């Protein structure tokens, strides 16, 4: 298998789907001539032309709304928001239209729209450019929330999202674009709603998604040296949410930590914790813990930013306390 970056994997997925299906097109700020603010769409304009790789003005609300309209008109739009922070301007279209249209019209309309957006902190970009907002979308029924961690998943999940008929928020972590991983050379899809057990263990379950998967794996390696055998689960998507894989693991280990980069309060991890205790309370040997971003806007200072974000060290500390 080839070793390629997360960015290249996404680019391949887009290219293959553009080739496969005439209805698929990309639009967003800087996706064409600039090649994408994070270079994910690099080179696609040259292959597919302006009709299918369409630069837009800075109008997030209307880019997303036009994506919804185009999807209702029979196309398969992929809208890129430059970052999820700007996506807040499009919240009305995402929450009130994209997520509602299928239901409020009695199942007679559908919106096969993929909204891709980078998110996450760690680059000293300050309070307005460092957010992880998956919980905002998870809260709203009617829209899928997908957060790949590995290059192989980035490609396989994105292709699955483009091929299905529900609206999707596809959140890519800005720190992962340069991460390399093995990606199959033949055509493949990663189905939505199946968590991935990346590491088997019997003492403790570490549940995470997106960049925190790497923090969890690093923590598990370190814990191994202390004789603690941690299982690591990558959820891959929050909606659909594969609780079966999580519960099977927790019933086995009796202990769980949920690690996520959203804010601690009201984060997606809080939902996972609640569901674990609802379904597996009798199997728990300790309260389910969370490691998340501190409840503060992101500071610019590097030391403070590191202190605000989840890290392997924080996971290890909680795990040691738990055991």
Catalytic positions = 60, 129
For the CB of residue 4, give the shortest distance to other proteins in the complex, in Å: 29
Contact indicator for 237, 157 with CB cutoff of 8 Å: yes
Cβ proximity to other proteins: between 51 and 321 the closer is: 51
Cβ proximity to other proteins: between 68 and 149 the closer is: 68
Cβ proximity to other proteins: between 89 and 313 the closer is: 89
For the CB of residue 168, give the shortest distance to other proteins in the complex, in Å: 11
For the CB of residue 291, give the shortest distance to other proteins in the complex, in Å: 31
Pairing relationship of beta strands 237-239 and 2-5 according to DSSP bridges? unpaired
Contact indicator for 217, 282 with CB cutoff of 8 Å: no
Coil, strand or helix at 144:
strand
Task: Please give the Cα distance from 247 to 238 (Å, whole number).
Answer: 15
Give the binding site for other proteins (CB under 8 A): 25, 51, 56-57, 59, 61-62, 64-75, 77, 92-93, 96-97, 101-110, 112, 141-142, 144, 164-166
Pairing relationship of beta strands 204-208 and 180-183 according to DSSP bridges? unpaired
Contact indicator for 221, 228 with CB cutoff of 8 Å: no
For the CB of residue 245, give the shortest distance to other proteins in the complex, in Å: 19
Can you list the positions of beta strands (E) in the chain?
A: 2-5, 24-28, 53-55, 76-80, 114-119, 144-146, 168-173, 180-183, 196-199, 204-208, 230-234, 237-239, 256-263, 289-293
Cβ proximity to other proteins: between 93 and 150 the closer is: 93
For the CB of residue 100, give the shortest distance to other proteins in the complex, in Å: 8
Pairing relationship of beta strands 2-5 and 180-183 according to DSSP bridges? antiparallel
Contact indicator for 315, 215 with CB cutoff of 8 Å: yes
Cβ proximity to other proteins: between 92 and 221 the closer is: 92
The residues pairing with 145 across neighbouring beta strands, listed in sequence order, are 169, 239
Q: How many CA atoms lie within 13 A of 112 on its CB side?
A: 15
What residues contact 125, with CB distance under 8 A and at least 6 apart?
A: 298
Task: Please give the Cα distance from 155 to 70 (Å, whole number).
Answer: 24
For the CB of residue 129, give the shortest distance to other proteins in the complex, in Å: 21
Cβ proximity to other proteins: between 93 and 293 the closer is: 93
Residue 163 host element (H or E): helix 151-163
Longest alpha-carbon distance in the chain: 58
């Amino acid at each position: 298998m080839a070793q390629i970056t997360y960015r290249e994997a996404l680019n391949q997925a887009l290219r293959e789907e553009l080739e496969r299906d005439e209805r698929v097109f990309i639009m967003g700020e800087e996706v064409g001539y600039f090649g994408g603010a994070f270079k994910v769409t690099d080179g696609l304009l040259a292959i597919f032309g302006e009709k299918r790789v369409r630069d837009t003005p800075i109008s997030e609300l209307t880019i997303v709304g036009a994506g919804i309209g185009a999807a209702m008109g029979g196309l398969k739009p992929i809208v890129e928001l430059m970052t999820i922070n700007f996506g807040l301007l499009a919240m009305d279209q995402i929450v009130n239209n994209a997520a509602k249209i299928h239901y409020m019209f009695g199942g007679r309309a559908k919106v096969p729209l993929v909204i891709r957006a980078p998110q996450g902190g760690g680059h000293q970009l300050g309070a307005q450019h460092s957010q992880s907002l998956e919980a905002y979308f998870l809260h709203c029924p009617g829209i899928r929330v997908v957060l790949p961690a590995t290059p192989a998943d980035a490609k396989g999940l994105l292709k699955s999202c483009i091929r299905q008929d529900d609206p999707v928020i596809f959140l890519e972590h800005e720190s992962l674009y340069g991460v390399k991983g093995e990606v199959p050379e033949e055509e493949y899809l990663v189905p939505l709603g199946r968590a991935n057990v990346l590491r088997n263990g019997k003492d403790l379950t570490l549940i995470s998604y997106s960049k925190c998967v790497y923090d969890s794996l690093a923590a598990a390696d370190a814990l191994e040296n202390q004789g603690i055998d941690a299982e690591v689960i990558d959820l891959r998507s929050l909606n659909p949410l594969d609780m079966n894989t999580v519960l099977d693991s927790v019933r086995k280990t009796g202990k769980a930590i949920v690690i996520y980069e959203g804010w601690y309060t009201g984060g997606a991890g809080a939902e996972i914790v609640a569901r674990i205790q609802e379904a597996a309370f009798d199997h728990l040997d300790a309260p389910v813990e969370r490691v998340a971003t501190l409840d503060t806007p992101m500071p610019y200072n590097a030391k403070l930013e590191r202190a605000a974000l989840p890290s392997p060290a924080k996971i290890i500390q909680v795990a040691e306390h738990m055991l």
